[in-house]
């Protein structure tokens, strides 16, 4: 089965946690002018055609052409909105934009230092806000404006980062546990060479065994 564009960006064992977009307010504000122009051109065409019946075909043709302009720009705005996505995976945060030419920005969760969320009173009422990700990468700051359900997005991202931190801690702990027998063996060699006394060897041995 063919992969989607998002799936093609995923690495091995990387899974999508959440996919979000900008709030529909962003789309509504972008296409408001186009909708008004469509209504004006449509109404003006009907009135002009009824007022001058002999020229009705010509007026209708002109009105149709004028209608195409706001319809075309509205279509582009809708496609831009639908193709701008914010994805959280178990490894990173991905921002995708562009209809045909794609622009992809990644923020590795391991390098995320802080997450800032801003919501106005209206944003809290309708469920949108800004998410600002502060990272240790070259990008520094990654800002998602008017994102839908920002609290859910922030929570999902922090939970994914916490899981990564737990995995790293677990790997370090397993590595340390695996090295303890070797460390005890090295201490025993030092004891046999007289570098450590029997008491010092037993003390260090107990300290290492307590970490198992």
pLDDT averaged per 10 residues in sequence order, the chain, 212 residues: 74 89 91 93 92 90 92 94 92 90 87 87 91 74 87 90 71 56 73 74 72 60
Q: What is the pLDDT of residue 2?
A: 46
Which 3 state secondary structure label does DSSP give 200? helix
Q: What is the pLDDT of residue 78?
A: 94
CA distances from 201 to 106, 177, 178, 206, 210 (A): 50, 18, 19, 9, 14
Q: What is the pLDDT of residue 200?
A: 76
Q: What is the pLDDT of residue 76?
A: 95
CA–CA gap between residue 174 and residue 212 (Å, rounded)? 9
Domain boundaries, the chain: 159-209
Q: What is the pLDDT of residue 81?
A: 94
Q: What is the pLDDT of residue 37?
A: 92
CB atoms within 10 A of CB 27: 19
Q: What is the pLDDT of residue 191?
A: 72
**What is the 8-class DSSP label of residue 14?**
-
pTM of this structure: 0.69
Q: What is the pLDDT of residue 177?
A: 54
Q: What is the pLDDT of residue 19?
A: 92
CA–CA gap between residue 183 and residue 189 (Å, rounded)? 10
Which 3 state secondary structure label does DSSP give 127? coil
Dihedral sign (CA 174, 177, 179, 182): negative
Q: What is the pLDDT of residue 148?
A: 93
- Which residues are registered as beta bridge partners of 140? none
């Amino acid at each position: 089965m063919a992969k989607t564009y998002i799936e093609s960006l995923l690495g091995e064992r990387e899974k999508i946690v959440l996919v979000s977009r900008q709030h529909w307010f962003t789309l509504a504000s972008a296409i408001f002018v186009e909708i008004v122009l469509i209504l004006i051109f449509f109404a003006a065409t009907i009135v002009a055609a009824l007022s001058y019946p002999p020229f009705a075909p010509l007026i209708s043709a002109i009105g149709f052409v004028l209608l195409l302009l706001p319809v075309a720009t509205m279509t582009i705005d809708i496609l831009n909105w639908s193709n701008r996505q914010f994805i959280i995976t178990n490894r990173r945060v991905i921002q995708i934009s562009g209809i045909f030419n794609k622009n992809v920005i990644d923020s590795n969760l391991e390098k995320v230092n802080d997450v800032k969320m801003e919501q106005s009173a209206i944003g809290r009422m309708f469920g949108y806000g800004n998410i600002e990700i502060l990272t240790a990468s070259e990008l520094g700051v990654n800002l998602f404006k008017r994102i839908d359900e920002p609290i859910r997005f922030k929570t999902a991202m922090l939970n994914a980062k916490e899981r990564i931190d737990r995995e790293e801690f677990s790997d370090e702990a397993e590595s340390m546990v695996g090295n303890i027998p070797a460390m005890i063996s090295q201490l025993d060699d030092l004891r046999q060479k007289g570098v450590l006394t029997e008491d010092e060897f037993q003390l260090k041995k107990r300290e290492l065994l307590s970490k198992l």
